[in-house]
Every structure is written in structure tokens, then in C-alpha cells.
Structure 1
Amino acid sequence: MDIALRYVEQHREQWKLTTADIADMVVSDNYQTRHNGATHVYFIQRHASIPVYNAIMGIHIAADGKVVFATSRFTRDLAGSVNTTDPVISAYQAVESAARNAGVRIGEPLRLISQNGNRAFVFDKGNIAKSEIKVDLMYYSHPLKGTVRLAWSVILDQVDTPDYWSMRVDAVTGEVLQRQNLTVYCSFASKNDECHVHDDHCQTQDAASVTGFQPVKEALAEARLLADAAYNVFPIPVESPIHGERELVINPQDPEASPHGWHDTNNAPGPEFRITRGNNVHAYQDSLNQNSSINDEPNGGDLLNFDFPFDESQEPATYREAAVTQLFYMNNIMHDVMYHYGFDEPAGNFQRNTYGNGGTGNDDVKAEAQDGGGTNNANFATPADGGSGRMQMFLWNSAGGKLLNVLEPEEIAGAYETSTAAFGPEISATAITGEVVQAFDDTNLPQLGCEPYVNAAEVAGKVALVIRGQCFFEEKAPSPTPFIPIEDDFTFDEIDEGGFTFEDDSEAREVFGSALDTFDSTPATDPFAPEKPRTSILSEA
């Protein structure tokens, strides 16, 4: 610490800082990296004991006591730049401003959970967040305007999206000065550009069959003499199913990063969990987009044998256990590898138990496989140390193209990207066209259409619209009705199955029978058009 303080005093003029600029700074973190003995000291700039957002100074000291690297984001002439020390709007009003900025409306008033003086507050999540809402008073130094405004920092884990907002709300005017999304997405060029092409930057190779499932009980019987856990996965460095084979990996954990295996939480030999949960990550399927487990995680039993079938030619629901196991494995691998590059407990990594090594615990990653919150994407939310990261892995559409053409109404008319379905006939040059009607069954999730439709009469002769998930397509498709399975958050550009097309009128009638009696045969571009006005149309572009 003395080395760091001396360095700051000796170099403040080099950073064009005054004595007052560093007089009220405090240590925010101080730890040593074990693999190389380097010490990292971080300071936060303050004025009148109020911290400045992101005004961090880092002094990095080698094992021999020499400063090898230093950075400063301190604001120059801070005292002469601040606008006030007293907020005009309350912390609650700042939350209201943040909610408006995020596009959510507060229902019932939010309950105050805790308060530390008049500068730190925690509110209940209410109907706008997935976790408690933290509000702290600090300054925000605008990087372009050169102004320093008193602000409320609001952390809002938005309820209806994966977005995890960190916002600075002006404590005088209520204006949102700056916001940062703590959730990182895989982004694409446009909303309809759903096919992410890797070929421009990566080399790929064909692999032999990777869908076969071979039980490993016999191998485990011998391996158990030496090992504690087994996972049937695509192991690193295999990037994906097209890059290599699945393998049985035995005890893949790193003995230093995860000394008691991946299923421990109490820092003692023996697993606390026999499911895909442990000190570093809790992995589970979230097909209903509930952002929590429904207690159906893969169970490895007393032998911790996570050996589950995978057949990529089938629907994702048939291999959820394999998918969750893969996600559990990969998160743990990332934890263990990065541990040796300095991302350990004192550095703020993700662990439920820090095993007495410093840092803040209770922040294992929540990894959600086959998440129902979207398609063709993935995201990772990374709050401050002590808050669990949330990783969401969505399902991906098969290669397709603009196979869906909406003819009416005009405001959404046009061709949309879709995938081809593994269920039903292949897409052909002749399209099926019809009025789209949303189907409902008599369950607590009626839009899934897993049970007989209650509005069967309305659906008859039309194209049924149902939400994908929970059951197989065969259960959702009550012959003779064509149907479109869609994602839960329905917009036409997110339809992920192309429906049905047929070579000719007779083939369609053989499949759908009397349901097509209400359709008239017309030219090939619109073979089964209904006589009455249409609202939205399924056809091939």
C-alpha cells in the first residue's frame, strides 16, 4: 500500500492532478495474484466523500516491489467542476426515471428494503426487475462535455428482457446521463439477419457421425477407482458438433481452481450436489424463460455420471440433459482456465464459496440452456462482485431463407427469414397460403397447443399459430390443420419453422383432407387462397 501511495503522489502532476484531486480518494480493492505475486491496488476518486463513477486509479506492483503498470481515470480539478453536493430528486424518483428510460412502467409502489444514510438505498424489485434495485449517490463526469454532475446510480435488472442496466440519473433534473448494459449480446447486422456466418473468419472441417450415443457404464466401473465425476461432452478444444466428437471426460476439474470438484460448495471433500450445480455454476434448462430452475436439472447420481444422449437430428427438447451438461462443463472449464490467468477470488470471479481466498462469494454463474427468451443469440450479464452472472443460451434456427411471405396486413407485409422444419414435408416450390389463427388449448399454457384446441372450429381450414416448446410437434399438429410453431415473444421475423408446402393440390389434400375444402385452387403462387379477406398469410416467398 505504501508503494502505491508514494507512486500516486510522485506521479499526480504527470496525470495533471492537483493535491485536492487525490486527497479524498479511497482504496476500492487491494489483492495479490498468486501465480505471479503481483499486487493490484485500486483507488476511487471522491469529493465530499461522494465517489465519482468509474474514476478509478490502478497501481500494479510486481513481486519485487517495482510498479510495472499504472492507469488513472481521475477527473482533473474535481472540486471546481462539480455542480452540487445535495440531490434535488430522491432515490425513488431516480428509479422512476430509470424505469421510464428502460421502457417499463412501475405498478405498485416499490418497497424500500434498506437504507444506508442518505446516499445508499435498496428497493424491492416490484414488477420492473428480476432482482432488488440498488441506488447509490455519486458523481458522473461526462467525458465529452467536461461537466461533473451529482447523480444517482441505479442498477436495474429489467424484468422483461435479459438487459441488466447500470444508469446514472441526474440528481437535480432526473435526466438519464449515461447507461451501460451489463448484459453482453452476440449481435448481428440487422434484425432479420439471423444467420451468423463464421466462414469469413474461421476454418471448419467435417466430422464423422457425432450423434451416436454409447453408454459408458462399463468404462465408469473401472474409472471410478480413480475418478469422481464423468461428463459426456464435446470437450475443449472442440468448438461445436461439426468440429469433433463427443467424449467421456473423467474428473476434468483443475485441482487448484476447483479443489473439491465442480459439485462442491462447502470447501470439504465430497459433492453437495449431484446435479449440474456447484461452486462455480448452476446450469439448468429455461425453455419457459422463467430465469430460474424448475428443479429438473440433469442428475448424475451417486457416481456423478452425466452421460446423456444427443441426436442433433431430433428436436432440442429430446437432448436437454446433454445440452445442460455441456453448458455446465464449459462454464466450469472457463472458470478453471481463467483462474490461472489471475481471474480468481480476490479479482472478483464467479464462485459461491471463495474458500477463504478473499473476494465476495454467493455469485456463481446462472447458466440457462435452451432459453426461451429469444432465438439465434446468446448473452451474459455480469454485475459487480457478489452478484451472480447470468448466461442465456438460445435455440438456433436451421438454415432456411426468406420462406415466409406475409401478404396482409400491409404494415407487416413482406418476406421474412425462417428455418426449415425437421417435422413435416420438405419445403417445395409450391406454397400453401391461408389465414393465420392463433390456436389455444385448455391448459394453463394455452398458446402451446399441446392438447386439443378449444377453438378448433375457428382454426379449421386455416393455419394454426402455436408457441414452440413443452411437447413434440406431432402433438401440436392436429391433422388436418397446418400450423406454425413460433417463439414465445412472437413477431413475424422470429417464426422459426416454415410450415408446410406441397408439390401439388392432390398431395396437400391427401395430408389435410377436408380442411382444404374452404380453399380455392388458384395459380401456383397462391394455390389454396381462401375466399374471405385475409389478415396474415403463410406462403413461400
Structure 2
Amino acid sequence: MLPFPKLSTAAFLAVFYAPVAIAGPFEARSKHATHRMRSLSRNFEIETYHPASTFETFGEGVAHPLWRRDNTNISLQDSTVAFVQARLAVQPADISFRSTFSGEMARHAYIRQSHNGIPFANAVANVAFNHDDKVVAFGSSFVKTKTIASSTPSIMVEAAIAKAERALAGQYNGHQISIQYLVKSDGSVALTHTIQIRNESAGTWYDAFVDAHSGELLHITDFVARSSYRVLPITKQVLTQGFETLVDPQDPIASPKGWHTVGKIVYNATIGNNAMAFKGDSNSLTSASSSILNFIYNQNPTAAPNTAPNVDAARTNAFYIVNTLHDVTYRYGFTEAAYNFQNDNFGKGGLSNDAVQISVQSSAGLDNADFATPPDGQPGLMRMFLWDYTSPERDGSLENDIVTHENTHGLTNRMTGGGTGACLQTLEAGGLGEGWSDAMADWIEHTSSAVPDFVLGPYVIDYPTGVRGYRYSTNNKTNPLRYSSLNTYREVHAIGEIWANILHNVYAALVAARGWSPTAFTNPDGPEGNIVFLHLFIDALPLQPCNPTFINARDAWIQADINRYGGANRCTLWQAFASRGMGINAADYGDSSAVPAGC
């Protein structure tokens, strides 16, 4: 999500989106990794809690209790249970499986703590195995329970639905209701009815956890992270760089039936297997402008965005960007089995019927954009708003970096935690999510080995420095943000700026060391730095624990490099992280410039 408050011109020039600095004791910021305060209305706030995660990486891997060289008869579930039982001293009956998938470099298992056959919502773990069946990464927020509620509800589910609907100003959407345990910040464990509540007009979408004994709303998961086509090519940022007509831009590996086919139906509109772009409602699509699958609409910058042909140009561009991002990230591991967004998964794993729905020029807001990521099998929802800093207004669907930012929330929320959409919920993890989204927009628009400073959102607000506090830069004077900046930041987008700038420096270091490939979108097999960067970006997501910290995310990158490249980029990565305070001794938001021996 992008936070863009409406300010006067004078105020905007002085302070637009200045990072939020909070002075106060360490206790206030120590909750970054476990808590997040959410304001749901003027009169209702809720502080959500997630037990602190531990995260370990094991380089070339460690054996689990069932490991042997001839491991063909050992299942992933058996290996996972054996390792977790030994590592955490828990019984197999206290482990329930959430999901598994096999990626190119590792096999991943996502599990939850359980009691009396009922899973915990926020006590989870993930184990990654290399192809020698050794464990290479382990994250866990399992807890030692103090008191645990009875597993038999005393509040009927109908009463829980009514409570959640009132508190969250929405309606139960018919998704299956479950019973789950929830660890509270005082160490006690509550039994909850878990209910999806949605308000489409307000753009809200939650999992609500209602105490099954007291009826109190205890916790929420917020799913919203706020052929031929005439489009703005994805490597361009803003429409002033020029539209082009692209012929058959789809990737036949990632989208084998093209962008407009679902099952046996070929749609002659902005709808297909990976995405649907509409305005107002799902029936308001852009149809081909001439022959089948030709979408040629010339945007008129002097006319209002909601007039023809500008609406069609916006739907076409958003459809193209989301499909292109689907295809690029598919090549790098965001596949059906890895919980991506497709209506037809072609029998390759994961849950289907969840293509991204793109609401272009949504009337629900202004000067913003957001993305809702429910669990695998439910469609992602991107809402793109108009921006009224200029006359005529400008359309976020025609600024590619904003579309890319929002779409990346779907990638990171799905791949962290095994497809739940619920593992970037703490303040620090939410900040990482915002940072990854900016970093992907940065990566996607490079057209050479040069690494210039990157600015997000300059077109929609008509201001050259964009919507962030600093340009993303390798220059410490241009952008002074570093790991210790977390000491003073308590807002997800400001926190995200820190991570995005760190990754900008990682990208620059990899390209300097390994060069740059012009074919990275469709050929992920090269040795160049931009290819390495995106592989590590995506490989690291399923390795890290639910609700990761900056340190967890860094360690997942280091382990991902071992898994894929045998640690060939170890020193390059460590030096880049250390240059922004994330050296080997970084901890508790204190900087370290130290790197491992030999670097």
C-alpha cells in the first residue's frame, strides 16, 4: 500500500511524506517484531500480537533424525516432524501441517503448533530442505503455553460473526469459518472462531479472531497492504516516457495459453488466467479496440482520466503490467505450487481461481493504491485510485512503479509463510513488505548496468522527488537511512524505506560484481548481478519465518545464496548489508559494519 495524504502545495513542498520519527524508550520500539497497532475506526483500535520468531540457517545443511543418503522413501512430512520434534522438544501430536511446496532450490514445509487437534493461528514454523534432504533453514514462533482455553467453544459461531461484523464494519463473506487457538501477549492461549469479514466499498478485508468463550474480538489479520497492447513498457516508469505498441508480450513458459485464456475460453477483453482489469465492477472491462486481442487506446493527457479513451488505456496498461510481473516472477519461482495468482493452475499444484482483480480508477479513494492478499485460492484485489494534485487528475494505473509496488505485496505475502497471506503482520514485517515492493519497482525499470538513484511516484503528484522521504541511493548523503534508523521509525512505509534502500545497495553491489543482463525477464539462468538479485529476492521469501525481522530477512538472503550459488556472492552481500549497518553484529536496531572473516 502507498500512503499519500492530501496536503497543500506549500506543505507538500516542505514535508511531503517525511519519515515518521518517534522519540521514546526502547520498549516502544522493541514491539516492532511482535506487535502492531491498528486503528479500525475513530473509536476502535486493536493491537495484534505475534510471538517472536527464531530463525536459523544452516549453510550446506544439517541432517534431521531420519536423514540418510538413500532418502527416497522418507516423506517431507516425516522429515519435518522428526526435525521439529528434536529441535523444539514437542510431540508429533502438537504439530499440524499448513502447506508444502517444492521449489527449484529447496523443499518447504509450513506447520503450526496445535493442541487437541486444533491449530494455533500465530504459533507457526517453517522448515526448508535442500535436495540432499538436509535442513537449510528453520523459523519458529512455537510457544510454551502457560494457560490454554478449553477446546470446546461456549460462544456460538453466529454470535462471533455478529461481533466481528459490528467491530469491523463489514460482512462475513462466506469463506469457511475455522476454530483456532491464538497466543496472547500475556502468554495465555485463547480459543477463537476465525471469520473473514469484508467491506468491498471501504476496501477492507480481515480475518477476525473472536474469543470462542468470551466473545471478545482479540486479533485480526489484515489482508490489504494498502497480444497487441498500447501500453507503457514495464521498464518505463511514467507515461511521459512514451507509450508503445507491444505485440505478444506474454511469456509462453509462464503463461502457456497466453493472457486471455481461462480453461477453454478465450476472452477478447482485459480478463484472463492471471488478471482481470475493470472499472467499477467486474463487467466493466476493456474490449479489444479492433481485431481480436488488439488493445490500442491512445491516452489523452489533457483530458480527465475517466473519459474515453483514457479509461481503456488505464485498464489495458494495468492488465499488461500485472501479467508481465506474473510472467517475470514465475520464471524466478513464484509458480502455482508456490501460491501464485492464477485461475487455472494446469495441475501444477497450489490452489486455483485466484487471479488478481485490478480495480482501475476505484471510486473508493484518492491519492493512494492498495493490494489485498487473502490466502492461496482466493483472488488478490488491487485497487488503483486517481490522484488530484494536478488538473486534470492523474491515474495511478499509468505510473508503472505504483502498479508494480502494489502487485509485489501479493508476491511477498503469499511466499512468506506458505500461502496464508498472514505472515507480514507485525510492524517490522509490514515495513519489510513495503520495502520489497519499492525494491521490485526499482529492479524492474533498469535498462542498463547503470544504477542511478531511484524515485518512486513522481508522475502522479507531479513532483520530481516522488513520494518517499529520500531517493534510493548508494550515496550516504543522498540517502542516510540504515539499519539503526529503525530506532526512530514506527510506521510501515517509513520502515519500508530503510529496507528498500538497503536492497538498492545490494543490487548495486551485485551488478558491479557480476554485470547486468538485458534478458533477465525471460532468462533467469545467467550469472549477471540483476539475475542473481531477483533469484535471491524470491528464494529468500519462503526461507524466512512468519513475521520476519530485518535480521531474519538478511539471513534468508545469505542462505538463499548458499542454496543456489554455493555462497559465491557471500562477501558481496555481506559488504552491501554492512554498508548500511547490517553487518554480522547488527542486533536490536544497533548498527554493525563488521563482515565475516575472509570478506
Per the normalisation by structure 2, the TM-score is 0.51
Offset, 1:5: 3.7
| Residue in structure 1 matched with residue 90 of structure 2 by the alignment | 19
Q: What runs of 5+ residues in structure 2 fail to find an aligned partner?
A: 1-73, 395-460, 462-599
How many angstroms apart in 1 are the aligned matches of 2:102 and 2:239?
39
How many angstroms apart in 1 are the aligned matches of 2:355 and 2:393?
37
- The answer to whether residue 346 in structure 2 is matched with residue 273 in structure 1 is no
Offset, 1:50: 0.8
How many angstroms apart in 2 are the aligned matches of 1:7 and 1:361?
26
Q: Would you say the 8 A contact 1:133–1:156 is kept in 2?
A: no
| Residue in structure 1 matched with residue 286 of structure 2 by the alignment | 297
Specify the code of the residue in structure 2 equivalent to 1:303.
I
Q: Would you say the 8 A contact 2:195–2:209 is kept in 1?
A: yes
How many angstroms apart in 2 are the aligned matches of 1:274 and 1:303?
6
Identify if the C-alpha distance between structure 1 residues 18 and 297 changes in structure 2 by more than 3 Å, giving closer, same or farther.
Answer: same
Identify if the C-alpha distance between structure 1 residues 75 and 301 changes in structure 2 by more than 3 Å, giving closer, same or farther.
Answer: farther
Specify the code of the residue in structure 1 equivalent to 2:165.
A
Identify if the C-alpha distance between structure 1 residues 66 and 19 changes in structure 2 by more than 3 Å, giving closer, same or farther.
Answer: closer
- The answer to whether residue 22 in structure 2 is matched with residue 28 in structure 1 is no
How many angstroms apart in 1 are the aligned matches of 2:106 and 2:84?
20
Specify the code of the residue in structure 1 equivalent to 2:239.
P
Of 232, 235, 244, which aligns to 1:234?
232
What pairs up with 1:82-161 in 2 under 5 angstroms? Answer: 82-103=148-169, 128=171, 131-142=173-184, 144-161=185-202
How many angstroms apart in 2 are the aligned matches of 1:278 and 1:420?
31
Specify the code of the residue in structure 2 equivalent to 1:81.
T
How many angstroms apart in 1 are the aligned matches of 2:210 and 2:275?
33
Identify if the C-alpha distance between structure 1 residues 161 and 134 changes in structure 2 by more than 3 Å, giving closer, same or farther.
Answer: farther
Q: Would you say the 8 A contact 1:274–1:302 is kept in 2?
A: no
| Residue in structure 1 matched with residue 256 of structure 2 by the alignment | 259
| Residue in structure 1 matched with residue 223 of structure 2 by the alignment | 182
How many angstroms apart in 2 are the aligned matches of 1:160 and 1:11?
43
Of 282, 291, 306, which aligns to 2:276?
282
Q: Would you say the 8 A contact 1:298–1:325 is kept in 2?
A: no
Q: Would you say the 8 A contact 2:305–2:392 is kept in 1?
A: no
Q: Would you say the 8 A contact 2:387–2:393 is kept in 1?
A: no
Tell me, what secondary structure is at the counterpart of 1:82? coil
Q: Would you say the 8 A contact 1:45–1:74 is kept in 2?
A: yes
- The CA deviation string for residues 98-130 of structure 1, in whole angstroms up to 9 with x for no partner, is 1121135xxxxxxxxxxxxxxxxxxxxxxx35x
- The answer to whether residue 341 in structure 2 is matched with residue 341 in structure 1 is no
Q: Would you say the 8 A contact 2:366–2:387 is kept in 1?
A: yes
- The answer to whether residue 301 in structure 2 is matched with residue 312 in structure 1 is yes
Offset, 1:153: 0.8
| Residue in structure 1 matched with residue 369 of structure 2 by the alignment | 378
Q: Would you say the 8 A contact 2:303–2:392 is kept in 1?
A: no
Specify the code of the residue in structure 1 equivalent to 2:306.
A
Offset, 1:151: 0.6
Identify if the C-alpha distance between structure 1 residues 420 and 312 changes in structure 2 by more than 3 Å, giving closer, same or farther.
Answer: closer
| Residue in structure 2 matched with residue 502 of structure 1 by the alignment | none
Q: Would you say the 8 A contact 2:386–2:393 is kept in 1?
A: no
Offset, 1:76: 2.3
Identify if the C-alpha distance between structure 1 residues 349 and 254 changes in structure 2 by more than 3 Å, giving closer, same or farther.
Answer: same
How many angstroms apart in 1 are the aligned matches of 2:76 and 2:352?
29
Higher strand share: 1
Offset, 1:140: 0.3
| Residue in structure 1 matched with residue 203 of structure 2 by the alignment | 162
- The CA deviation string for residues 373-422 of structure 1, in whole angstroms up to 9 with x for no partner, is 111111111111111111111111034xxxxxxxxxxxxxxxxxxx6789
How many angstroms apart in 2 are the aligned matches of 1:3 and 1:304?
44
Identify if the C-alpha distance between structure 1 residues 241 and 169 changes in structure 2 by more than 3 Å, giving closer, same or farther.
Answer: same
| Residue in structure 1 matched with residue 319 of structure 2 by the alignment | 328
Aligned CA-pair RMSD: 2.3
Structure 1 or 2, whichever has the larger Rg, is 1
Higher helix share: 2
How many angstroms apart in 2 are the aligned matches of 1:374 and 1:73?
37
| Residue in structure 1 matched with residue 342 of structure 2 by the alignment | 351
| Residue in structure 1 matched with residue 112 of structure 2 by the alignment | 44
Identify if the C-alpha distance between structure 1 residues 7 and 53 changes in structure 2 by more than 3 Å, giving closer, same or farther.
Answer: closer
| Residue in structure 2 matched with residue 390 of structure 1 by the alignment | 381
| Residue in structure 2 matched with residue 81 of structure 1 by the alignment | 147
Q: Would you say the 8 A contact 1:18–1:76 is kept in 2?
A: no
Identify if the C-alpha distance between structure 1 residues 134 and 10 changes in structure 2 by more than 3 Å, giving closer, same or farther.
Answer: closer
Identify if the C-alpha distance between structure 1 residues 41 and 379 changes in structure 2 by more than 3 Å, giving closer, same or farther.
Answer: same
How many angstroms apart in 1 are the aligned matches of 2:248 and 2:317?
14
| Residue in structure 2 matched with residue 504 of structure 1 by the alignment | none
Specify the code of the residue in structure 1 equivalent to 2:367.
N
Specify the code of the residue in structure 1 equivalent to 2:169.
G
How many angstroms apart in 1 are the aligned matches of 2:274 and 2:338?
15
How many angstroms apart in 1 are the aligned matches of 2:303 and 2:169?
38
Specify the code of the residue in structure 1 equivalent to 2:337.
P
Offset, 1:3: 5.8
How many angstroms apart in 1 are the aligned matches of 2:102 and 2:137?
14
Tell me, what secondary structure is at the counterpart of 2:363? strand
| Residue in structure 2 matched with residue 465 of structure 1 by the alignment | none
- The CA deviation string for residues 44-65 of structure 1, in whole angstroms up to 9 with x for no partner, is 2211111110332211112232
Tell me, what secondary structure is at the counterpart of 2:266? coil
- The CA deviation string for residues 339-380 of structure 1, in whole angstroms up to 9 with x for no partner, is 123211111111000011011111111111111111111111
How many angstroms apart in 2 are the aligned matches of 1:150 and 1:67?
32
Offset, 1:87: 0.8
Specify the code of the residue in structure 1 equivalent to 2:313.
A
Identify if the C-alpha distance between structure 1 residues 164 and 3 changes in structure 2 by more than 3 Å, giving closer, same or farther.
Answer: closer
Query: Greater shift after overlay, 61-70 or 295-304?
Result: 295-304
Specify the code of the residue in structure 2 equivalent to 1:9.
A
Tell me, what secondary structure is at the counterpart of 1:92? helix
How many angstroms apart in 2 are the aligned matches of 1:255 and 1:420?
39
| Residue in structure 2 matched with residue 172 of structure 1 by the alignment | 213
What pairs up with 1:358-369 in 2 under 5 angstroms? Answer: 358-369=349-360
- The answer to whether residue 62 in structure 2 is matched with residue 71 in structure 1 is no
Tell me, what secondary structure is at the counterpart of 1:375? coil
How many angstroms apart in 2 are the aligned matches of 1:57 and 1:38?
16
Tell me, what secondary structure is at the counterpart of 1:374? coil
Specify the code of the residue in structure 2 equivalent to 1:57.
A
Per the normalisation by structure 1, the TM-score is 0.56
Identify if the C-alpha distance between structure 1 residues 420 and 315 changes in structure 2 by more than 3 Å, giving closer, same or farther.
Answer: closer
Q: What runs of 5+ residues in structure 1 fail to find an aligned partner?
A: 105-127, 186-228, 287-291, 400-418, 423-495, 497-541
Q: Would you say the 8 A contact 2:269–2:285 is kept in 1?
A: no
| Residue in structure 2 matched with residue 429 of structure 1 by the alignment | none
- The CA deviation string for residues 158-210 of structure 1, in whole angstroms up to 9 with x for no partner, is 2431010111111111111111211111xxxxxxxxxxxxxxxxxxxxxxxxx
| Residue in structure 2 matched with residue 62 of structure 1 by the alignment | 130
How many angstroms apart in 1 are the aligned matches of 2:311 and 2:302?
14
Tell me, what secondary structure is at the counterpart of 2:234? coil
Query: Greater shift after overlay, 56-65 or 150-159?
Result: 56-65
Question: In the comparison of the two structures, how many residue pairs are matched?
Answer: 320
